[in-house]
Amino acid sequence: MNTQETIELFDKYVISNYGRLPKAIVKGEGCYLYDADGNKILDMFPGWAVSGIGHCHPKVVEAIRNQAGQLLHIDNTFYSEPQGQLAKLLSERAFGGKCFFCNSGAEANEAALKLARLYTSGEKYKFITAEGSFHGRTFATVTATAQPKYHEGFLPLLPGFSYVPFNDIAALESAFTDEVAAVMVEPIQGEGGINIATAEYLQAIRQLCDEKGAVMILDEVQTGIGRTGKWFGYQHSDVIPDIITMAKALGGGVAIGAMMASDEISASLVPGKHASTFGGNALACSEDVAVIETIEKDGLPANAVQNCKYIVYKINQLKQKYLYNDNYLGVVLIIDL
């Protein structure tokens, strides 16, 4: 099928809830995509930040092939080694917590919010999130997402959420009542426009959570798995959160989400309180072990820092060239580097 035929198929049978580019993709390799009409495309945002080590990395494909011939899925009534191995790799690269596996970033955040309520014994029920945040599209996570455009059409949202301006410590302090069960923020707001949480802000969240007995949740769905130059975004500060959530690049192309909580907090998640049918399935986990091992072996977090410097340098050159050039009308570079 060419692109036009695929589009016609979609028009007839697929709900149109995405604004799609008119290209049907048939193959991915490294940082390139190939469309159904034979065009090669440089993919600058692979899979919405999922394919962090490139499309169809050979090690990942090999892990999927091996696992597919062995066991695809086993329900969580049983133990399976890939899930345990993946949890170990993640725990060792973060703060030594324990993992719950699910299938997406929103599900990981749902799990984190539910666990915070469980841990604070239901006496505390409120959540604070930051304006400009993005935490997902389920009812709880879209409520946590403090951007009105995502709320339109879904009111009333879940009760108990309040929003504060990002990086504003005074606003956080005044919103922090005794009923607050958790604060959830991104170390770097992705959808909100690449806003970086200051070290002081993360420290203030940590301190207030400790003082009030609340849970500090960091949404690392965009910032996790080496994308910022460290395994997790919080590692650029000296703050250790209680819970982190991850998805996207963790999967390397296969759907997975994970929530990691400290030993003490994770103990509240006992059988019957939360679950996922596909969460932690053997195929996704063995593939993700390959993702983590590849990132480590190839030194990709350091590579991200190096490439970042190069990109910033090049964009600055463009800024010099075009920003003050009268002949170049129509484009304004608004990147403040």
Task: Give the residues lining the site for ligand PLP (CB under 6 A).
Answer: 104-106, 109, 134-136, 186, 190-191, 219, 221-222, 247
Q: In this structure, how many other beta carbons lie within 10 angstroms of the beta carbon of residue 2? A: 12
Q: Between helices 282-297 and 58-68, what is the axis angle to 10°?
A: 150
Amino acid occupying residue 262: S
Residue 158 CB, shortest distance to ligand PLP, in Å, is 16
Nearer to ligand PLP, 219 or 288 (CB): 219
HSE of 84, CA atoms in CB hemisphere, 13 A? 4
Catalytic residue at 127? Answer: no
Query: Given the complex with ligand PLP, which of 95 and 134 has the nearer CB atom?
Result: 134
- Give min distance, CB of 105 to ligand PLP, in A: 2
Minimum distance of ligand PLP from residue 189's CB (angstroms): 8
Q: Active-site residue among 95, 176, 248, 288?
A: 248
- Radius of gyration, alpha carbons of the chain: 21
Q: Tell me if residue 134 is catalytic.
A: yes
Q: Report how far residue 281's alpha carbon sits from residue 278's, in angstroms, rounded to the nearest whole number.
A: 6
H or E element that contains 71: none
Taking the least distance from each CB to ligand PLP, the nearer of 186 and 287 is 186
User: Three-state SS for 182?
Assistant: strand
Helix (H) / strand (E) element for 28: namely strand 25-29
Residue 319 CA from chain centroid, whole number: 30
Instruction: Tell me the β-bridge partners of 221.
Output: none
311: alpha, beta or left? (left if phi > 0; alpha if psi -120 to 50): alpha
Q: Is 212 annotated as catalytic? A: no
Strands 161-164 and 25-29: unpaired
Query: Between residues 35 and 140, which has the closer beta carbon with respect to ligand PLP?
Result: 140
Active-site residue, from 134, 166, 176, 232: 134
Catalytic option among 35, 219, 242, 288? 219
Q: Helix 282-297 vs helix 81-93: angle between axes, to the nearest 10 degrees?
A: 40
Helices (H) and strands (E) in the chain, counts: 11, 12
Cβ-closest residue to ligand PLP? Answer: 105
Between 35 and 224, whose beta carbon lies closer to ligand PLP?
Answer: 224
Considering the complex, state which of residue 180 and residue 247 has its C-beta at the smaller distance from ligand PLP: 247
Asked if 280 and 101 touch (Cβ cutoff 8 Å), the reply is yes
Contacts of residue 19, Cβ cutoff 8 Å, sequence gap at least 6: none
Catalytic residues: 134, 219, 248
